[in-house]
Structure 1
Amino acid sequence: MKNYSENPEHYKQLIAQINSEVDFPGYLVAHGYRLLKRSSGSQEFGKEAERIVLQTKRNPVTYFNRNDSLDKGRFFKYLHKRSANFYVAIKQGLGIIQRDYPEPSPVKVKKKNSKPISLEKCYHIEPLTRPIYLTEGRGLNIDTLKSAAFKGRIFNAFHINDNDGRIANIALPKYGLDGNIKNYTLYNKPYRDRKDGKIKKFRLFLNKRYEYLFVSNPNIEAEKVVCVESGFDAMAYHELHGRPNVFYVSLSGHIDDKKLEQFHQWHNKVNRSHDLPLHLAFDHDIEGLRYDLVLLSYWLNRKSNQVFIETDWNRPVMRLKLNYLSKSVAMMEQDTDYINAQISNCPRGMPKGLQKAICYRDKVIWELDLNRIVLLAQHSRTFWKLTVEALSKCFAQDILKMDKSPTMKDWNEELISVKKKSGCRLASLL
């Protein structure tokens, strides 16, 4: 056999022939590898601790070794790495391409358990018996938890630690319209991460069924519907207002089309007479104001025969485009004048830097800088109430109401603040 340096082109041709003609999967099976996984473009083989992945869509087939980042390439590279020298690898390769190998045996698919473990059993979810996180950390009264709105709708999820102790998390259920629980979110006080030493929130969403909502008891004779961001805000609102007959809906952390559709269906189920006021009680921050406008627009687009609202969010500016179904310029001008007059009634007039609603020939455009509104300090709630209720009076017969917490960011913080001022001892969440 001639030396490579005497005729390199000859050897390059031989290597190309070996790479293109070899049955790589068959060779591995013949040498004791088992097929572990198969997809449309790859096959993974195992032999003891070694894992070889073939990328079968490529021509020639390439491979890589999961345990060695340098062990990768085409078949001749694989063979050369496991041969005494280059010339032995060439000789072996030429012999290999003359052979036929059997097909790899099919991958054995493990049968799935026909009886999946329920969330309740997997996470030890039980009726509420240890409400300490709610009463001491969230400031909630036990009577609120036992009220008609929330009784039987709050749970414990017990984590069994290494010392066989039971850590009592709070589990808030997410309901389907059929009344059955579809999911839970678990809560507890913040913890210190052992890896980086940082304080982190404990919040565990148990599966990917994000569209379902935490709602209060839908079977009460509700006087109004109140939308909040978290279930804890709903409970705090309920306590601060003397536990009224209210149906609460929590959107739990983010808002999207699926959640809005669930909200719409719950609203129709509870509001059979279609005359209950809808209170927007989201947080008083940029995200809470955005929630107000998104839900308001969605609700009006479902209910109003006058206008269809498009929202364009470019943080921190929300742009509302009001498309009038009647195409009446007179009506558009009338509503624009009314909206601008209402928001000018803020104690200091229209805040500097905020846009007026502008009437065009075919639509009304209104841009709202939510950051500027939040920064209005004591006047921000007044201005925002005028903003939202101006739209409500124009298009919703004044059914939509603004219901921000008076002094704090959200209703749970408001409850804690009120109780601290009255001398109640509350455990810190930090």
Structure 2
Amino acid sequence: MKQTWRWFGPRDMVSIDDTLQAGVEGIVSALHHVPTGAVWTPEEIAQRQREIATMKDGSASGLAWDVVESLPVSEDIKKQRGDWRTHIANYITSMENLAAAGIEVICYNFMPVLDWTRTDLAWRLPSGATCMRFDLADFAAFDLHILARPGAMDDFDAPLQKEAARRFAAMSDERKTQLAENVVFGLPGAAENFSLEDVRGHLAEYDSISEDRLRRNLLDFLAEIVPTAERLGLRLCCHPDDPPVPLLGLPRIMSTEAHYQALVDGVDNPANGITLCSGSLGARPDNDLPGMMDRLGDRVHFLHLRNVKRETADLRGSFHEAEHLGGDTDMVALIEAALREEARRRAAGRADWSIPFRPDHGQDILDDHGRKAQPGYPLIGRLKGLAELRGIVAALEPRVSA
């Protein structure tokens, strides 16, 4: 399992020097400044590779850009409207340019409108650490009283509506603004952020798009790009919905094992694969992460290892980002399943036997509080998580490989 680290580019408050000292073996990055739908040019790709390969003093880092996260899919593609055909052509060109630069793994997602949703980006824990949190009642307050989405009342039962109204009435104007900004924060690291009016506009356009229609649009997209990925030796891997439940009346198609089975069956090609994110999928109590790794492992091209603590037993409920070994997912069992998959791949002679993983998210601890890095991506909190995950791998790998 190759230890990688997400880096948001030169503006990231965590430097390449920091990642190297953390002991990582590769970098996960993206061209966040390039508008969604535009081509990633060879020049821009080469520039990011140089930035990754160089420490502050000009010496070589020894690190390379191993995984793209994300090559974003435009809303036009998801909805099959507007410039969606041009955007697919540009996506294929970007894939060709990435392959020419020697990059083989591309992570993307197909979440409509919002790429991930949290109500708090720095929720304080009893220890003094802070983390990201999704509070269902606060989200309902946003949906019902800030966004004022038509039809929102149908999505929340009477007790939750009452609690949302109470929460909203008690909120200061500052908290209302902060809550709205948190919910529409957007793709981590992206230069583009939605306003409330942007969200309302997109939601109106999704009124006619069912779950089945969105899935067809995804499979249409993959039918266009997967043959190119196979020809170029690329591995595409779709990230799950986050949270993995319906929100804002939008369809969700990457939330369960059945969804992922439909993905790999719909375009049955080894280049069409999965980003198995234990945090996103782990927010649902009915998702069996070690079992998913065992059953779908031959298509898992990238692993996000993080943990969440569910605050209720409901299918849709509140949760917060836990320590990597402290949430509801059995991380030891998941890593053991991943190592078994690697052993199967080695035995089959697969060149891609080593699955890249990264310590996804992390709690802000110690000096993270003053660094103000990308929300969810602290230096020390992730380093702590990586150390814990590295220890599990070191303990299990000799046994699994024997």
TM-score (norm 1): 0.24
Structure with the bigger percentage of helix? 2
- Structure showing greater relative contact order (alpha-carbon pairs closer than 8 Å, 6 or more residues apart): 2
Name the larger-Rg structure: 1
TM-score (norm 2): 0.25
Structure with the bigger percentage of strand? 1
